[in-house]
Structure 1
């Protein structure tokens, strides 16, 4: 912890004790600044305070240029939305227009199968009368078998189209959506961390950087000095300790500081 020390002279203590105050006791003032940094890197875009200024808790201190993070956040948001849509789509069957196309194809296949059945019956009758060769009957039977196979294929496709995706495909889609959402949360956090505010009421002790300068991740931009972090330490002779009481006023003096 970095501290600042200032020599002090304490000339008067506890006049109520009735003794003549000593000429003074030496000591030092101790300051423990709080260094404010952003956990992300970037160019310092805005510095909202000056050295020596008092700030309230929550008051804006500085902001880094978050243009890259904002762009990454927009991209991550789009990926998350796309992945979520894919995950929801995996829980559904095929869309109604796609099923309608399959139904139309199935109707055509059934009609073709009926015609093939009629043609086979006709060819069998003609063969029985000796008007056609056996090969014509065989061709008609083959055409009917193919038509029926096409009907079965489309019926199966229609049944499958009503089902959601396989469980492993749904799990993969959900995992992708969760990963995209996590990436979105990370980029949103980086955008938020580019703006830093005072964690407590304090005095701006030092400002280390100016707008336009590059700030590394974790590099302090300024230092705050809360009232509780300012202390005076001095040394009292053993012979004078018995004359002191708690909460008694103390006058502090230091070169260039004036009375405190």
Structure 2
């Protein structure tokens, strides 16, 4: 008799609604962290170098905007920098070597002329003292000597000035021109760099919003990249069930076509509940309060973003 009763109880437990209740579960969905790739400046897209579904590493080139005008501006800025630097170097170094050589040659010639004038003056002086030449000849020799010595002094002063660098104010102005040219070059390079967009992190190209030849505005996403980090599961827990979960809890995950034994770790509870209107804080309406809960997948698996999942507590 007992074995018949046990057989009947086992049979009844197989009938839906009779026997042990199934484990409680919560419905949710998988979500990936998306990064939207956009250029800081708008323009016509020259190349899109990836396709939907492509795996990318951080730093991989994603797309390029047309940049012919910016390349020309960068070349012009570089030329201005080179010209400003050359002008500054010229002011710091003084006259050119060729100009200095000409001044030195003129000085040597003037010194030779002065030496000859000195000899003529000494000879005229001796002859005058002997009474062989008039006073006028001695005066003429003295004047020639004075003129030759003055020419030497003038050329010595010119050579000294030519060997000196420019005045401090001129050098400071030239240095400011160099700094301004370098800043323009840096700005032109930055503008050109903004025409090429790379992947900020590793992941998979999820969606292309533009194609080559189309115009994308500044800050408008051209494509989206799903991060390579573990998927995040989002599900809603009622007010009465919230106490069953804690941060760090391991929960089981199931979905259609998924492998068995998948788990996730709870890492976030939303502090603001969501209500089912009307918002009435009565005992009956409190059952409609739900809190967004998030869990990170432990295993890397075939779950896709947006796929429905079921979450259950692990006893």
Specify the structure having the higher radius of gyration (Cα): 2
Correspondence for 1:51: 52
Report the Cα distance in structure 2 between the residues aligned to 1:226 and 1:108, rounded to whole angstroms.
82
238-247 or 42-51, which deviates more: 238-247
Q: Once superposed, what is the RMSD of the aligned Cα atoms?
A: 3.7
Q: Unaligned regions of 5+ residues in structure 2, if any?
A: 1-19, 257-305, 310-315
Which protein, 1 or 2, shows the higher relative CO under an 8 Å CA cutoff with sep ≥ 6?
A: 1
Q: Secondary structure of the residue that 1:250 maps to in structure 2?
A: strand
Instruction: Report the counterpart of residue 247 of structure 1 in structure 2.
Output: 250
Q: CA deviation at 1:34?
A: 2.3
Per the TM alignment, residue 57 of structure 1 is displaced from its structure 2 partner at its CA by 2.0
Shift of 1:92: 1.9
How many Å apart are 1:115 and its aligned residue? 5.7
- How far apart are residue 248 of structure 1 and its match? 0.9
- TM-score where L is the length of structure 1: 0.70
- The aligned residue for residue 37 of structure 1 is 38
Q: Which consecutive residues of structure 1, in runs of 5 or more, have no partner in the other structure? A: 1-17
Contact 1:116 1:140 in 2 (8 A): yes
Query: What is the CA distance between 1:26 and its match in structure 2?
Result: 5.2
Q: Distance in 2 between matches of 1:98 and 1:106?
A: 13
Contact persistence 1:48–1:61 (CA under 8 A): yes
What is the CA distance between 1:178 and its match in structure 2?
2.5
**TM, length-normalised to structure 2:** 0.60
Contact 2:124–2:133 under 8 Å retained in 1: no
For residues 194-233 of structure 1, what are the structure 2 equivalents within 5 Å? 194-226=195-227, 231-233=232-234
- Structure 1 residues 244 and 162: CA distance shift in structure 2, 3 A: closer
Cα deviation 1:84-105 (Å, max 9, x = unaligned): 2332332223233221100111
Q: Is the 8 A contact 1:33 1:229 kept in 2?
A: no
Cross-structure match for 1:73:
74
Q: Is the 8 A contact 2:114 2:149 kept in 1?
A: yes
Residue 228 of structure 1, CA deviation: 5.2
Question: What are the within-5 Å matches in structure 2 for residues 1-260 of structure 1?
Answer: 20-22=22-24, 25=26, 33-113=34-114, 145-226=146-227, 231-241=232-242, 246-251=249-254
Query: Whose helix proportion is higher, 1 or 2?
Result: 1
User: 1:155, CA displacement in angstroms?
Assistant: 1.0
Give the secondary structure class of the aligned counterpart of 1:94.
coil
Mapped contact 2:28–2:308 kept (Cα < 8 A) = no
Q: Could you say if the C-alpha distance between residues 210 and 102 of structure 1 is closer, same or farther in structure 2, counting changes exceeding 3 Å?
A: same
Count of paired positions: 237
Q: Is the 8 A contact 1:41 1:215 kept in 2?
A: yes
